[in-house]
């Protein structure tokens, strides 16, 4: 079986070209504000990548860098400033924040209109009910990838391994809203291998390197690996499924580029809404 490679890197480039044209039509450049608390090198890299993507489409990025010692109250005050800044169209609080900060309280302080990363409980609730909200960027990016490659979703059995509030849970609801039958499982699920074998679509979002083994996945499944770990491996033992799956996301170059492209796209949409476009 020759599997379709769900090339997120190529699709992200195509999306950026389209976004650059949309940005040119706006009176004011969209601005994405990124907040980085502390000095985690991986987080700093992610923020830099998002800033570079803004630059490529003609947007601006506003960086807010706060010390490791920042309190919840101080971070909330910074978010309030961005909420009240009419020039800022999107706000991204880079996860994770230092342990003394109430991350959920800070996510939920972001204005719904500027929640372009889809992290607020209000936005999650609206999305779950089929109402408009900016989707959590990684699962929303996965949905765009599935649509681009015309992967059937309606009526399919989808199995998601992972239940995080910004990936596993919103992924489940997005697929359910598109008429998939969805099972959400995790590292403590009994008979996990047998559950995964039921999936026509399998999403690895558990955050452990190659936790999902190749022999857990049935022939012809669509394999979405949302993990990324040192050495360029994901949450799924991809090398063991490439010859038997119908489609898969490579690691790297699959889900990751789509996360950033979706974040940028949703910021452009927020700017268009402000200008009534």
Out of 7, 94, 115, 225, pick the active-site residue: 94
Burial label, 136 (beta-carbon count in 10 A; 0-12, 13-18, 19+): buried
Out of 7, 117, 200, 225, pick the active-site residue: 117
100 in active site: no
| Residue 126 marked ligand-binding | no
| Residue 214 marked ligand-binding | no
94 in active site: yes
Question: How far apart, in whole angstroms, are the C-alpha atoms of residue 269 and residue 152?
Answer: 26
117 in active site: yes
Out of 50, 114, 144, 156, pick the active-site residue: 50
| Residue 86 marked ligand-binding | no
- The DSSP code sequence of the chain is --PEE--HHHHHHHHHHHHHHHHHTSSS--EEEEEEES--HHHHHHHHHHHHHHHHHT-EEEEEEE-TT--HHHHHHHHHHHHT-TT--EEEEPSPPPTTS-HHHHHHHS-GGG-TT--SHHHHHHHHTT---PPPHHHHHHHHHHHHTT---TT-EEEEE---TTTHHHHHHHHHHTT-EEEEE-TT-TTHHHHHTT-SEEEE-SSSTT-B-GGGSPTT-EEEE---BTTTB-SB-GGGTTTT-SEE--TTTSHHHHHHHHHHHHHHHHHHHHTT-
Query: Residues annotated as binding site for NADP(+)?
Result: 162-164
Query: Residues annotated as binding site?
Result: 162-164
List the catalytic residues: 50, 94, 117
């Amino acid at each position: 079986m020759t599997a379709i490679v769900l090339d997120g890197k190529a699709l992200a480039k195509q999306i950026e070209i389209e976004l650059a044209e949309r940005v040119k039509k706006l009176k004011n450049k969209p601005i994405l504000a990124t907040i980085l608390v502390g000095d985690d090198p991986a987080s700093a890299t992610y923020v830099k990548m998002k800033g570079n993507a803004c630059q490529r489409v003609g947007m601006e990025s506003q960086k807010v860098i706060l010390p490791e010692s920042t309190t919840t109250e101080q971070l909330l005050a910074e978010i309030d400033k961005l909420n009240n800044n009419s020039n800022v169209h999107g706000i991204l609080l880079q996860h994770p924040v230092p342990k003394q900060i109430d991350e959920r309280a800070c996510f939920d302080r972001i204005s719904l209109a500027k929640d372009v990363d889809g992290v607020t409980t209000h936005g999650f609730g609206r999305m779950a009910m089929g109402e408009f909200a900016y989707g959590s960027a990684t699962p929303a990016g996965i949905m765009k990838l599935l649509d681009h490659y015309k992967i059937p979703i309606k009526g399919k059995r989808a199995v998601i391994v992972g239940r995080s509030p910004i990936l596993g849970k919103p992924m489940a609801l997005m697929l359910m809203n598109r008429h998939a039958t969805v099972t959400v499982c995790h590292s403590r699920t009994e008979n996990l291998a047998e559950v995964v074998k039921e999936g026509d679509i399998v999403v690895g979002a558990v955050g452990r390197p190659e936790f999902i083994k190749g022999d857990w996945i049935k022939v012809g499944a669509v394999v979405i690996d949302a993990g990324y770990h040192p050495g360029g491996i994901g949450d799924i033992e991809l090398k063991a499924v490439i010859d038997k799956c119908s489609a898969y996301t490579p690691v790297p170059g699959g889900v990751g580029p789509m996360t950033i492209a979706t974040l940028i796209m949703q910021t452009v949409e927020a700017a268009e809404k402000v200008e009534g476009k």
